[in-house]
Structure formats: structure tokens, C-alpha cells
């Protein structure tokens, strides 16, 4: 019975002492043990640590890399154009002791980061054009800004992992100007496309006229050539045959011409010189 009571007492005391004399530092935390405001121990690794109760104070802070999304800031470019730059910083506490001595609080650290990033960003972008800021070239500039910012903030126990731009924006008025320009550019393009269509159509139609005229003329030429060869061949055939007896040909040809020329109801005046009437006239 007594043993049991003692057992309980020992267990309870153990837990009480454990709570009073030790503290755990989580995997995600850093800790600093102070005594009367003086730093006694810095815990950069997680695990179990000892302390003197009531006298020692333990401050914990974030060990992980943290995201700080800075509010958009207005920046002037090399040609004095205004640009809204929304950037973010990845940072962590590198030296808890230094951080504790110089910053103490997270909000203090953020304000300091804000100031230094802004001034570095402003200095770097003031030498650049918008085109460079939004394009590939900014990467190099950003890594310079990261290096500079890191150098500036090392004295506060902070490590800057990255400074990056989330978005760059034109101020409202400039954005509207861009929209207007885009609009007019597109309408211009549309007009040009339509005109191009007209041009091509006219071209095709003119080609149609040209082609068909050439086709017709070529055909005419071919046809005339063919007709010519026909005529020539016929003439040759005639000439070959008729030259055998030109006089008879002439007579015979005239006769057949009469046959075809004097159609029905042709009025013919027959005088007495006509050979056909020789007998008639001669008999009188």
C-alpha cells in the first residue's frame, strides 16, 4: 500500500520535474535560453534540453524557411516609367543569437527585410527598362538583389534564400493605355487582313480574265493555222488535178457554178448571143 502511494508520488514528481527542468525544441523551431536577459544557451538542433526552473526563460523561433509576401511597391524604371512590383522573399533565421539580440520579434524582422529588399530592388530596377524587368534578363538582376539583400541582412542573423518577383504591373492609367493600343493594333490588323483578301481576290479575278482571253486567242491562232493548212492542201489538190487541162477545167467549173448560182426563180435575160439559143435564133 505504502509502496503504491510512494510509486504514485514518484511518478507525479517525475512529471513535475520533467516539466520544470527540461524543455523540448521542435524540429521546426530554434530556441534560446536566457537567464535574467542574458543568453545562456542557443539550441539550433531539435531535442531535449535542461533548464533551471523559474530563473531560465526559453524563447523559441521559427527554424523553417519562411515566405514573406511583400506588398506591391511602386518602382521607377530607367526611363522614369512607373511599375508596380509585387515581390516575395524566402528567408530563415540563420543565427538565433544574433536575431534575438538585434531583432527579437518577427514583425521587426519583416519590416527590416521589407526596407532592404525595396531599396535593393529600386536601385537595380532603376537601371533597367520594363522589357528587361519582365524578361529573362531580370533573373540575373534578381540574383544580384538576393546576394545584396543577404549581405545586408546577415548582420541580423537572417539568411535570405531568395528574392523573387511575383508580378509586375503597370499602374492603372498605363494599363488602360496598353488596352487601347492593343485594341487599335488589332483593328489595324483586321483592316489589313480584309484589304489583303480584296487584293488577292482582285488578283485572282484579273488572272481569270487574262487566262481566259489568252486561252481564247491561242485557240483562235491554232484554229486559223488548221484552217490554213486545210485550205492550202485543198488548193494543192485542186491545182494538181486542174493543171492537166486548164481550159476544160475553166469550162467545167463555170458550168457547175451556174448550177449552184442560179437558184429557183432567178430572172435570166437570154439574148441572141447565147449559145444555148443558137438553134432558136438561127432557125428564124
Least Å distance between CB 84 and another protein? Answer: 11
Least Å distance between CB 128 and another protein? Answer: 13
Q: Tell me which H or E stretch contains 244.
A: none
Residues 160-199 that bind another protein (CB under 8 A): 161-162, 164-170, 175, 178-179, 182-187, 189-191, 193-194, 196-198
DSSP state of 155: G
Distance of CA 159 to the CA centre of its chain: 37
Contact 85, 121 (CB under 8 A): yes
Contact mark string toward another protein, 235..254, x via CB under 8 A = x-xx-xxx-xx--xx-xx--
Contact 106, 80 (CB under 8 A): no
Question: What angle is formed at CA 100 by the lines to CA 95 and CA 103, rounded to 5 degrees?
Answer: 105
Q: Is 13 in the site for another protein (CB under 8 A)?
A: no
| Residues near another protein (CB under 8 A), total | 118
Nearer to another protein, 115 or 272 (CB): 272
Binder of another protein out of 9, 28, 53, 115 (CB under 8 A) = 28
Least Å distance between CB 119 and another protein? Answer: 21
What the block records as the C-alpha cell of 12 is 507525479
Binder of another protein out of 6, 13, 16, 47 (CB under 8 A) = 47
Residues 196-235 that bind another protein (CB under 8 A): 196-198, 200-205, 207-209, 211-213, 215-216, 218-220, 222-227, 229-231, 233-235
Residues 53-72 that bind another protein (CB under 8 A): 62-67, 69
Task: Determine the Cα–Cα distance for residues 39 and 35; give it in Å rounded to an integer.
Answer: 6
Least Å distance between CB 64 and another protein? Answer: 4
Binder of another protein out of 113, 124, 138, 153 (CB under 8 A) = 138
What the block records as the C-alpha cell of 274 is 447565147
Least Å distance between CB 36 and another protein? Answer: 25
Q: Tell me which H or E stretch contains 222.
A: helix 172-242
Q: Cell 521559427, residue?
A: 62
> Which span (32-40, 50-58, 118-126, 136-144) binds another protein, by CB under 8 A?
136-144
Contact mark string toward another protein, 96..135, x via CB under 8 A = ----------------------------------xx--xx
Pairing outcome for strands 82-93 and 73-76: antiparallel
Task: Determine the Cα–Cα distance for residues 44 and 94; give it in Å rounded to an integer.
Answer: 9
Question: What angle is formed at CA 246 by the lines to CA 244 and CA 251, rounded to 5 degrees?
Answer: 125
Task: Give, in order, the Cα–Cα distances in Å from 150 to each of 20, 36, 104, 124, 199.
Answer: 39, 32, 19, 15, 62
Least Å distance between CB 145 and another protein? Answer: 14
Amino acid at each position: 500500500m505504502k509502496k503504491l502511494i510512494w510509486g504514485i508520488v514518484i511518478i507525479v514528481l517525475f512529471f513535475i520535474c520533467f516539466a520544470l527542468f527540461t524543455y523540448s525544441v521542435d524540429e521546426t523551431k530554434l530556441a534560446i535560453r536566457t537567464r535574467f536577459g542574458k543568453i545562456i544557451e542557443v539550441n539550433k538542433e531539435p531535442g531535449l534540453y535542461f533548464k533551471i526552473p523559474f530563473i531560465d526563460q526559453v524563447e523559441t523561433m521559427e527554424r523553417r524557411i519562411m515566405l514573406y509576401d511583400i506588398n506591391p511597391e511602386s518602382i521607377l524604371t530607367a526611363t522614369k516609367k512607373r511599375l508596380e512590383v509585387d515581390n516575395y522573399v524566402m528567408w530563415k533565421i540563420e543565427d538565433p543569437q544574433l536575431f534575438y539580440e538585434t531583432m527579437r520579434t518577427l514583425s521587426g524582422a519583416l519590416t527590416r527585410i521589407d526596407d532592404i529588399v525595396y531599396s535593393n530592388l529600386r536601385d537595380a530596377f532603376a537601371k533597367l527598362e520594363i522589357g528587361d524587368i519582365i524578361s529573362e534578363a531580370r533573373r540575373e538582376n534578381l540574383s544580384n538583389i538576393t546576394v545584396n539583400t543577404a549581405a545586408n541582412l546577415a548582420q541580423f542573423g537572417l539568411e535570405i534564400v531568395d528574392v523573387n518577383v511575383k508580378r509586375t504591373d503597370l499602374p492603372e492609367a498605363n494599363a488602360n493605355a496598353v488596352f487601347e493600343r492593343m485594341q487599335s493594333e488589332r483593328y489595324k490588323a483586321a483592316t489589313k487582313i480584309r484589304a489583303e483578301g480584296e487584293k488577292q481576290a482582285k488578283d485572282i479575278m484579273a488572272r481569270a480574265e487574262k487566262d481566259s482571253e489568252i486561252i481564247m486567242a491561242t485557240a483562235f491562232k491554232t484554229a486559223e493555222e488548221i484552217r490554213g493548212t486545210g485550205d492550202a492542201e485543198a488548193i494543192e489538190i485542186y491545182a494538181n488535178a486542174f493543171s492537166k487541162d486548164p481550159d476544160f477545167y475553166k469550162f467545167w467549173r463555170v458550168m457547175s457554178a451556174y448550177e449552184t448560182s442560179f437558184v429557183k426563180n432567178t430572172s435570166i435575160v437570154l439574148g441572141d448571143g447565147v449559145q444555148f439559143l443558137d438553134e432558136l435564133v438561127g432557125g428564124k
